[in-house]
Every structure is written in C-alpha cells, then in structure tokens.
Amino acid sequence: MSHTDAPRTGWGDLLAEGRLPRFALICLGVWLNAVDTLVTATIMPSVGADLGGYAYFSWAVAGYLVGAILAGASAGRLSEILGLGQASALAGLVCVAGCILSAVAPNVAVFLIGRLVQGMSCGWISGFSMVAIALLFPERHLARVFASVSGVWGVATVLGPLVGGVFAEAGAWRGVFWLFAGQAALFSIAALWLLRGSTRPAGGSGVPWTQLAVLSVGVGAIAAADVIPRAWAALALVGVGIAILALVLRLDARAKVRLLPHRAGDLRTVVGSGYAAMFWMTAASMGFAIYGPPILQTLRDLSPLWAGYVIGVESIAWTLAAVAVASASEKWDAFWVRLGAVCLVLSLVILTWAMSDGPLGWVLVGGALLGAAFGFSWSFMTRRIMAVLSDEDRAIGTSATIAIRQTGASAGAAISGAAANLVGLSAGLTASSAQAAAVWVFASVIPLALVGAWAAFRLTGSAARTASPP
C-alpha cells in the first residue's frame, strides 16, 4: 500500500473537506448541554434568595433531566421528519425560549417551567449532534470525534462552576440564562447554514406516541424518587420506573413506528448489550459527583472550591483517557471497553474504602479511575453500536445513546440518594451521617457496576450479534 493509499485517520483529515465548521457546531451543541446543569447548580442559592421556593429546587435538576431524556429519545424521529438542519435549528430556538423563561421568571414556578423547556431543547440538541456525527463523519474518525465531545464535557466541568460563580457573586444570576440564550440563538442560525443539504436520515415519518407516553411515566417515576426523602419509598419508585422502562422496550418491539432500533432490548445483540452497559455503568457512577463535595467538606474540612477540584479529577481523567485512545483501531475496541468496565468496578471499591477516612490520594485515584472508565469505553461502545445499525435505524439508534445515558444518570442519582438517606443523611449533614454515606453511597451501586460490566463484556464478546432482525 502506498503512502497516499494509507488510511487517513489524523486530526487534519478529520477537519478537512469542510468538516471543521460542522465539527465546531457539534461541539457548541454538546457545550450547551454539558455546561447548563453545572452553571445552574452554582447559581441556585442566588435563585433561591431571589425567588424563594427552596423546597422545590431539586426539581430544577429533575425537571431538566425529564425534559432532556424525553427529547433525546425522540430526537432521532424528529430529525427524520424535519431533516437534520431544520430540527437542529428548532431545538436551538426552543432553548432560547427556555432560557428567556428562566431569565425573566417572576417566581419559582415559571423558573421551573423554563428549566423543563431547557431540558427538552438540550436533549434534542444532544441527540441531533449524535445524529450529525453518524451522518457527517467517516467511521475512521468516530473515536476522535467522541474524544472531542468528552473534551467539551471536561472543559464544561471546569468553566461551568466558574461562570456561574462570577454571575452569582455579581448578583446577576439572570444574566447566565441571557448568555445561554445568545449561544443557543447562534447554534440555531449556524445549524440552518451548516447543515443545509445534509442527508436526511432514513426511517419512518411517524411519531411513537405510545412509547413516549409510557417513557414519560417511567422517567417521571425515577425523577420523583430523586426528591422523596423516605429511602424505601424512593427505592420502590425507582424499581417501578425501571420496570416501566422495560415495558417501553416490549411495546417498542411490537410497534409499527419505533422509538428504538430493532431488538434494542435483546442482550444477545450489539445494540441491546451496548444500551444496557451504558445505562447501568452511568447509573453506578453518579454518587461521586452528587455526594462527593458535601462528604469531603464535612469529613476533611475542604473548602467548596477544593472539594470541587477533587471531584473534577473524574472529568479530567475522562477527557485524558478519551484523547489517549482516540486513535486506537477497531481491533482494540473490545480491550478498551472491557478495561473501562473493570476500571469502574475498581473505582467504586476504592471509593467505598477511602472516601470516609482513607488517604485523600486514594480518593483521587478512585475518582480518576471513575472518569477513565468512561474515557476508555464510551466512544468505542458508541462506535460498535453505530456500526451495526441499519440505515433505517441509524438516526434513532444513535440519538438514543444520549437518552439511555441520561436515564441511567437519573436512576443512579435516585439510588445513591436513597442509600444516603437510609444511613441518616436526610436528617442532616453531620460527621456521623457523612461518614456512613461515604461508604454506602458507593457500596450500594457496586452491583449496578457489575451488571454494566457484564453487559460491556457481552457487547464485545461473541455472544453479541447484530441489531438487525433475524
């Protein structure tokens, strides 16, 4: 093979042939989703002081996630109906509307409606970005594109709290949403220009209303569990929600207009095992980001800033690991996916032991392994799923990866919250309750990580076949 015939897999070729502007658009879409929750969490005390309604503020996150999950699940079908350019532009305009609602909110009710609308728009934007990656970039570049997406999340983790802090300290929390509205408007205009003429995803033109309705109930149950103080009731509600999600898979398999690819619930297929690995691995990872900061502040007297930096090691490791393996060839997919699954289980074991009173260095190791687990595996799991999707299923199957992970995150947050409340955190953050939570928040999700690892090994083993019906 001559030099000119060699496979072109470098960054230069990735951004060649007019792909750079579209690559930048995708990064902007990912940024809007990644930074939103981080910035909003930082300004919530200021929002509370201005609008009141502290008891309902957990719904600022829960409502956002519900909207994002439902929109992400429907993104594939919407891109088929409207075309990728128009669908992306519409999502940007919806984001502008949601941001304006939050910015001008006279009370907490309007603010929460704005958050729900923002969640829907960002779910669509993320889903459409995934569809754009599948349609606009050659398969040889997918690992590098996904590594870049991970890098955007890493940057958002660092800059998000900083941006929110600047606006909060200036007493101008509403300015955050005006800033986001401007970025969303830019995304909408750029999408019409850059995605015009792009190939319309193949597939049906109908909307899977039944599956979306049942999915709404399941996701709503999980989101409600996240804000219920009674641990056993919360766990029961999570179980009900997951059972309803399983019902969605059964309904979808028999539906004429599908929400998910063929055999998405079949663990014998690449798509089925891949979705399962994404869901359970993400669910197992949520406790560190949610409960790490208060535990570190209470037990180790770290400032909020330093506790945030300790937790930030997860995102840094995710980004570095993703970039490190971005050039790996397809024959290494199985190795990196399995290594990621092992890193996840190992990280939770380390954090269970070290978070309470172990050396801080081991907490950093556990957090780094947690991030590396996804940095090593996520792009290759997604690439394996995309590789077996038919043209008919390509849009809905690719966009669904976002909804699957977000649903896993919601379930994991509720399960971690129930574990923390069971050991007394609901009664108040004390040294005793923080010490117990430092153990059980992580120990309780090790079984979830093991299920996710089992699915990841199935994804990369001979048992997994294709997503197409026999």
pLDDT single digits (tens) 293-306 = 888 888 998 876 67
Is residue 40's pLDDT more than 90?
A: no
Task: Report residue 271: phi and psi, to 5°.
Answer: -65, -45
Lowest mean pLDDT among 29-38, 193-202, 397-406, 413-422: 193-202
Between 369 and 109, the more confident residue is 369
As a whole number of angstroms, the distance between CA 278 and CA 229 comes to: 27
Q: Are the CB atoms for 286 and 441 separated by under 8 Å? A: no
3-state class of 264 per DSSP? Answer: coil
Is residue 18's pLDDT more than 90?
A: no
As a whole number of angstroms, the distance between CA 74 and CA 123 comes to: 9
Is residue 420's pLDDT more than 80?
A: yes
pLDDT of residue 45: 67
pLDDT of residue 6: 43
pLDDT of residue 224: 79
Q: Which of 322, 185, 206 is nearest to 259 (CA)?
A: 206
pLDDT of residue 199: 58
Residue indicated by tokens 């995710």: 318
Between 413 and 449, the more confident residue is 449
The domain locations on the chain are 18-206, 262-470
pLDDT of residue 1: 43
Arithmetic mean of pLDDT, 38-67 = 72
Bridge partner residues of 269 (DSSP): 465
pLDDT of residue 361: 95
Between 305 and 391, the more confident residue is 391
Q: Which CATH superfamily is domain 18-206 in?
A: MFS general substrate transporter like domains (1.20.1250.20)
Is residue 154's pLDDT more than 90?
A: no
Q: How does DSSP assign 197-209, residue by residue?
A: TPPPPPS-----H
pLDDT of residue 165: 75
3-state class of 269 per DSSP? Answer: strand
pLDDT of residue 102: 93
Arithmetic mean of pLDDT, 196-217 = 73
Does 262-470 match 18-206 at the fold level? yes
> What length does the chain have?
470
Report percent pLDDT > 70 for the chain: 88
Arithmetic mean of pLDDT, 224-237 = 79
pLDDT of residue 213: 87
HEC string of 440-465 equals: HHHHCCHHHHHHHHHHHHHHCCCCCE
Ramachandran assignment for 186, one of left (phi > 0), alpha (psi -120 to 50 degrees), beta (any other): alpha
pLDDT of residue 118: 93
pLDDT of residue 9: 58
Q: Which of 279, 10, 315 is nearest to 156 (CA)?
A: 315
Arithmetic mean of pLDDT, 348-369 = 95
Q: How does DSSP assign 133-175, residue by residue?
A: HHHHS-GGGHHHHHHHHHHHHHHHHHHHHHHHHHHHHTT-THH
Is residue 428's pLDDT more than 60?
A: yes
Is residue 364's pLDDT more than 90?
A: yes
Average of per-residue pLDDT values in the chain: 84
As a whole number of angstroms, the distance between CA 212 and CA 245 comes to: 10
Arithmetic mean of pLDDT, 260-286 = 91
Arithmetic mean of pLDDT, 32-57 = 73
CA distances in angstroms from 230 to 125, 222, 227, 283, 396, listed in the order given: 35, 14, 9, 20, 37
Between 282 and 417, the more confident residue is 282
Arithmetic mean of pLDDT, 384-395 = 85
pLDDT of residue 198: 63
pLDDT of residue 96: 96
pLDDT of residue 304: 67
Fold of 262-470: Growth Hormone; Chain: A; (1.20.1250)
pLDDT of residue 124: 92
pLDDT of residue 54: 57
- Label residue 4 by pLDDT band (50, 70, 90): very low
As a whole number of angstroms, the distance between CA 321 and CA 283 comes to: 20
As a whole number of angstroms, the distance between CA 318 and CA 347 comes to: 13
